[in-house]
Structures are given as C-alpha cells and as structure tokens.
Amino acid sequence: MIERVDGPADRARGGARKKRSGGRPVDVSHVDFGPVPAATATKLQRRLGEAARAFEAERFTEAQKLLVSIDRLAPGVAEVHELLGLTFYRLGRWLLAIKELERFAEITGSVEQHPVLADCCRALKRWSRVEELWHELGQASPAPELIEEGRIVQAGALADRGRLDDAIRFMERAPRVKGRPGAHHLRRWYMLADLYERVGDNARARRLFADIVRVDPDFGDAAERAASI
C-alpha cells in the first residue's frame, strides 16, 4: 500500500508510514498488449512481470525503465499506465504520476487509483482537483477501504491549508462503524485522533488512540501516542 508525504494523513493510511499502491495489487498476469506479434506480447508479458516484482521490492527506478520500454512498444495498456503512475508516485514525481493515473482512469473508467491521484494533487496543492476526485470516488461508491483512503487524503488536504476544524467535521461525518473495525476504520480513527490533538482536544485524541490500540495493539505508533498525550 502507498502513501505520499510525511504527516498525520500519511501515517493514518498505513498506521506506520508504509506506502500504499492503491486499493489492490496491480494484476499483470493476463494483459492485452493490443496488435503486437505473439512473440512480442510474450516478451512484454515477461517484462511487465519483472516490473511488477521490481515495484514490490521497491526498486522503483528499475520498474520505471521496464514500464517505459513496454509503453513504447505497446502504448495504451491500462496496467502499464497504472503501475507506471504508482511508480512515479513512489518516486515523488507527482506530475508524471498524475499523467499516468489519469490515463489509467480514462482507459478503464475505474476510480481504483483516485486516492493516489488525489494525493499527488495534494502534494502540488491542487485543492480543487483533490475535492473533485473525492466527489467522483463517492459517486462511484467503491469498496469501503477505497472510500476511507480517499477520505483521509481529502481531510489531509483540508488540514494542509490550516482548516483543521473543517477537516475534523469532515472526518466526523463518516459512517459509524458496525461490527468489528477493519484496518481502514483504524486508519480513519488515527487521522481523526491526530486532528483532535492538533487542535488541543487531548481528551478525545487520547480516547481514540486508545480505541485503536484495543482493536490492534500494534497499529503504528497509536499506543505510544495514547500514552503520551
């Protein structure tokens, strides 16, 4: 899983500054490379598999070179644009990541990488685009995990502009958790707890960090923060 900048929104996404790659691993097992000879398609499939393995191993420069070479021979392959966008994201090359992820969304109609795309826009302070992507995500109603990723980025964008109270109200409007909380709920709680602490509401911050620890004692630095407030 991928994240962008350091800060509470990013810790919330992984609980511990881990990176996110979108809502799921990119599936490169059966890819249509378009009108290329069969031998070329076989070679490109092998190269794409190598790129995916390089990405997972965090060898991002290697993954970039492999993906660019594939795109040269077979342009317009959704999985290539998606993985290349995620690679540029991990390299902190926001404009290139936006270009590739926008292309992926255009080809597929998918909002799967909207949280990552929004986070790139957040890095460039393109606030209106971050909000647009959040609304598109909400209208598509994808998996709850993906909605929470988008919610955290949107709240982070509000906080980046000093709108902490707006960010808190935005996070508090999220649906109540029914049943046992999932990891995506804990990431949401972490973000909200951090916001509470930033505005000086230490009591609510402490309670929410403690709630996270009760569900998952090893969730990032939640235990440490609950004890330190």
Q: Please report how many Cα atoms fall inside a 13 Å half-sphere around the Cα of residue 77, on the Cβ side.
A: 27
Q: Is residue 70 part of a domain?
A: yes
Band (pLDDT 50/70/90 cuts) for residue 10 is low
Distant-in-sequence, close-in-space partners of 218: CB < 8 Å, separation ≥ 6: none
Which pair of tokens denotes residue 183? 């990891």
Q: Is residue 103 part of a domain?
A: yes
Q: What is the pLDDT of residue 224?
A: 96
Mean pLDDT, to the nearest integer, of 100-121? 97
Q: What is the pLDDT of residue 16?
A: 30
- Helix ranges (H only) for the chain are 8-14, 38-56, 60-73, 78-90, 94-108, 114-123, 127-140, 144-160, 164-172, 183-198, 202-215, 222-228
Its sign, for the CA torsion 193, 198, 201, 202, is: positive
Q: Is residue 173 part of a domain?
A: no
Q: Is residue 73 part of a domain?
A: yes
Q: By the 8 A CB rule, do 141 and 110 touch? A: no
**How confident is the model over 39-86, as pLDDT tens digits?**
999 999 999 999 999 999 999 999 999 999 999 999 999 999 999 999
Q: What is the pLDDT of residue 4?
A: 37
What is the Cα–Cα distance from 60 to 63, expressed in whole angstroms?
5
Q: Is residue 225 part of a domain?
A: no
What is the percentage of the chain residues whose pLDDT exceeds 90? Answer: 85
Q: Is residue 44 part of a domain?
A: yes
Q: Is residue 51 part of a domain?
A: yes
Q: What is the pLDDT of residue 193?
A: 98
Q: Is residue 100 part of a domain?
A: yes
What is the Cα–Cα distance from 26 to 82, expressed in whole angstroms?
8
Which pair of tokens denotes residue 8? 């509470």
Q: What is the pLDDT of residue 112?
A: 95
Q: What is the pLDDT of residue 115?
A: 96
Model confidence at 220: pLDDT above 80: yes
Looking at the chain, how many residues does it have? 229
What is the Cα–Cα distance from 108 to 142, expressed in whole angstroms?
14
Q: What is the CATH number of the domain that holds 63?
A: 1.25.40.10
CB atoms within 10 A of CB 106: 12
Range of the domain at 33: 25-111
Q: Give 175-179 contacts, CB < 8 A, sequence gap 24+.
A: none
Structural domains in the chain (count): 1
Mean pLDDT of all residues belonging to the chain: 90
